[in-house]
Structure 1
């Protein structure tokens, strides 16, 4: 079929969502509203705590606050549309907004992935060069690394959306998902998308798998160095490293499952999508603060200060 003989007639897509049951939709709305609310409250708390406490103005907490900012934005890209559809019983999204959602989802998601790489580099520097760590990871370097993460996410997202936009869509227009994403949208194109799918897998799946492998190797080296060379605070360092591995795995493993294979529908795809699009942004603050005594103490002090000020 010739691409030039086709015109884009699809103006909107129909999202099948998570369920077709009207009764279950209201329950899901309540569940995901609470998830989204917790995502905002927990991540916003981290951002406020880091900004308002000068002794937390060090690279680790600076990157953690930026990860919290990314989690808020990443979750909002999918959660707002999902909640609106569940509450209003609407199922459609315009072609333009679908493309914008794909762009924003991969923009924030890509920035988050690259920031995890930065956090691994930061942790390696703290363990490998403790005496020169703050000199090497100064404010300018940290800011540059965060900007680089966003630029990396932007470049990744531009490639994703550019490959989608150039495809003709003339029907059908039903997406079996609760948001627009590449694996579902690409299957609705009116041409053979085999080559485009390979490019998509290379840009998303293989890149994710490669970065995940590099991070696993890096953290393995860090763990070995901690066990052999760190004496003071060894338990805290091992706990911090283990927490970062858990947080990293919750992001990479579901995404690799979705993007690092041919774009064929599996029954668990929606569950996996919910995990990394909605649940992980809520869990990240818990994971990264659960074993961080300093952050927990500051948060408790802030909460007590707020409660006592209201009682007066």
Structure 2
């Protein structure tokens, strides 16, 4: 099945910027941060703008953190912008401006978790490591385990399940991205295109007659409308659009509910996304 997936990917894989020859490790790290919980279509234009402005870790490290938050714009979860800036500073200070190439060193960077560390190590440096995301977990659950859904994440077990499938080191990075792409385009959560699947002949779920999933159901994400996330976004939009720090009254105008607005502002201050420059004057971090 490894070669079948690789052959399918080389013919059907999407032509995405971070898959192009010569795409830098720094670009890979930036793209992985941006892709967390954000659709590909929204990431591509923002990634191009970001790398044109800050093509290296040193370029971003030399800029104020607030510029990173402003450039993040509407990607959501803006703490990722602060983490990327902190990553750039760390890479310049500890790695002479070069993104480290091993998983342990990548894990030590601010805001980098297990998936991001392995994705950068594999896709930027060709490491022989398993990469596990939601799409990969779903493909393994169906093809190998005969289950409709993968169930709750179990990092160690999920990693070992993918590790057991890895082919030889020279082609394992392509296999990693091939399984991920298969889950994104064919073996989707809803309406999987089984007849177009290159490994349908050995799929345990298909062989078993597509049994329904009987395990724990993933909790639904809370609605964005009216949430603290929306209020935080409204406040940040005011600060991003302003040429300098703003008075509290401008933030008050951004959201009508005082309680929600106060809660969101306090959270932004605690996260370092907003700073109190003087009494009732707020700005982005420097």
TM normalised by structure 1 equals 0.26
More contact order relative to length (CA 8 Å, sep ≥ 6): 1
Between Structure 1 and Structure 2, the one with more helix by share is 1
